[in-house]
Amino acid sequence: MSVNRTADEPDAGASSNPNDLPFKWPVLGFGRDVGVWSDTLICFRNADQFRTCGRHSYEDGRRVGMVLFDASGRSWEITAVRKLGTAGSIGKRILRWLIRWTVFNIEVDIAEAPSVTFDELKSRIIQTIDANPLKWRDEEALAGESGPPRDEQEMLDELKDRVRKARTIDELIKGAEIIDAE
């Protein structure tokens, strides 16, 4: 994994050890606008998850331009992604081949971005929910599969309230029901 540092930091542009990532886990990733995948928000819980990427995400370039926020309030932007090979044991590779799902080991270049406050991060999540409400809807609750049918706007408002009330990044992930990276 390459880490691009600012010019005033030591070892500017040097490669980092993959075990020496600058993040405090978990890390939230806001995807760039690539058509239907605009306003994508995913969670990377550890380095192994961060260093892998599904075939479609890789081919569509969904990680390039992604803005990352870690648990300490620091942020980065992914500037480049390189495929290193297919991820997983031979058994996992065969299973994924059978179901036509490939996962790659990747290396990324990142550039540090200005830090944000926790309130700014919560605001960005709420903006993401507002910008793409269909991604956040609970189809089963709307259809009444687990009780009486629910109102979609009421459910979105409850979701945003949980985000506003969160005090930690873990509470944000749970409250906003942010999915893990593939």
Rounded percentage of the chain residues whose pLDDT exceeds 70:
75
97 and 127 belong to one structural domain? no
Last residue of a domain, one of 58, 87, 113: 113
6 and 64 belong to one structural domain? yes
Q: What is the pLDDT of residue 26?
A: 93
Spatial separation of the C-alpha atoms in residues 118 and 112, rounded to whole Å: 17
Q: What is the pLDDT of residue 151?
A: 83
12 and 98 belong to one structural domain? yes
Q: What is the pLDDT of residue 137?
A: 76
Q: What is the pLDDT of residue 28?
A: 93
Alpha helices in 132-180 (DSSP H): 133-136, 139-143, 152-165, 169-175
CA-based max dimension of the chain: 59
92 and 148 belong to one structural domain? no
175 and 128 belong to one structural domain? yes
Spatial separation of the C-alpha atoms in residues 44 and 20, rounded to whole Å: 16
> How many domains are there within the chain?
2
Q: What is the pLDDT of residue 182?
A: 59
Q: What is the pLDDT of residue 88?
A: 64
92 and 128 belong to one structural domain? no
b/e map 75-88, b = 16+ CB within 10 Å: bbbbeebeeeebbe
Question: Which regions of the chain are under pLDDT 70?
Answer: 1-19, 32-39, 87-89, 92-101, 141-143, 181-182
58 and 42 belong to one structural domain? yes
Q: What is the pLDDT of residue 67?
A: 92
7 and 97 belong to one structural domain? yes
Q: What is the pLDDT of residue 94?
A: 66
CB under 8 Å to 106, separation ≥6 — which residues? Answer: 51, 52, 53, 58, 63, 81, 82, 83, 84
Tokens of 53: 């990427």
126 and 100 belong to one structural domain? no
Q: Which tens digits make up the pLDDT trace of 33-75?
A: 555 555 678 899 999 889 998 888 887 888 898 999 998 889 9
Domain span at 145: 118-180
Last residue of a domain, one of 113, 138, 166: 113
Last residue of a domain, one of 71, 95, 113: 113
User: What pTM, to 2 d.p., does this model score?
Assistant: 0.76
52 and 102 belong to one structural domain? yes
Q: What is the pLDDT of residue 90?
A: 73
104 and 128 belong to one structural domain? no
124 and 45 belong to one structural domain? no
